Amino acid sequence: MVLVGRRGWKNKAILGSIRRSPLLQSLVEEHTHLPDAAVARLLAGACASLYPSFAEGFGLPVAEALALGVPVLCSDLPALREVGREAPEYLDPEDLTGWEDAILDYARKRSPRRQAQLTRLAAWRAPSWEEHFRKLQPLIDAALPEVARRQRA
């Protein structure tokens, strides 16, 4: 397993488990500052990209993996569902058994779960700026009268 990127929120328990276990240390490597091309090479060879997050603003790593055709196991968060839509497999970030089962399954050569996601992934399209602003514009329009009212007050 390869950990890529900066360490996120609520990571102490996981990192502590890795530090205390010689077996995990031999199976896990961490890279905190890789160039984009190196990350793309790692993703291209992955059985899946794992994104166990507790809070998200957008979920760019999910979009990047899906754009490369790599299956994604990620937390069931609204922002990740907005980016990943129907393609990823969504898991509760605190369901350790669920994550373990999914990871072991996706690591198998002929994983039906992984194959099902690859089928869904074929229909996935990256979010576009046009789509984003089509959703955002009504919120902006609704907020403008309130902003104007507050400025007059």
Task: Write out pLDDT tens, residues 63-78.
Answer: 999 999 999 999 999 9
Residue 148 confidence class, pLDDT cut points 50, 70, 90: low
**Any domain includes 139:** no
Strand partners, 4: 31
Tokens 């993703």, residue located? 43
DSSP character string of 78-101: HHHHHHHTTSSEEE-TT-HHHHHH
**Any domain includes 153:** no
Residue 87: partners with Cβ closer than 8 Å, 6 or more residues away: 66, 72, 117, 120, 121, 123, 124
Q: What angle do CA 62, 18, 1 make, to 5 degrees?
A: 40
In whole numbers, what is the pLDDT of the chain averaged over residues?
A: 89
- The DSSP bridge pattern shows strands 2-4 and 29-31 to be parallel
What is the three-class DSSP state of 121?
helix
Please state, in angstroms and rounded to a whole number, the distance separating the CA atoms of residues 74 and 95. Answer: 12
**Any domain includes 39:** yes
Domain that holds residue 45: 34-126
Task: Write out pLDDT tens, residues 111-133.
Answer: 999 999 999 999 999 888 898 88
Q: With 70 as the cut, is the pLDDT of residue 153 above it?
A: no
Task: Give how many domains the chain has, as a whole number.
Answer: 1
pLDDT given at position 50: 94
**Any domain includes 23:** no
Task: Write out pLDDT tens, residues 33-92.
Answer: 899 999 999 998 899 999 998 888 888 999 999 999 999 999 999 999 999 999 999 999
Residue 33: partners with Cβ closer than 8 Å, 6 or more residues away: none
Q: pTM score, two decimals?
A: 0.80
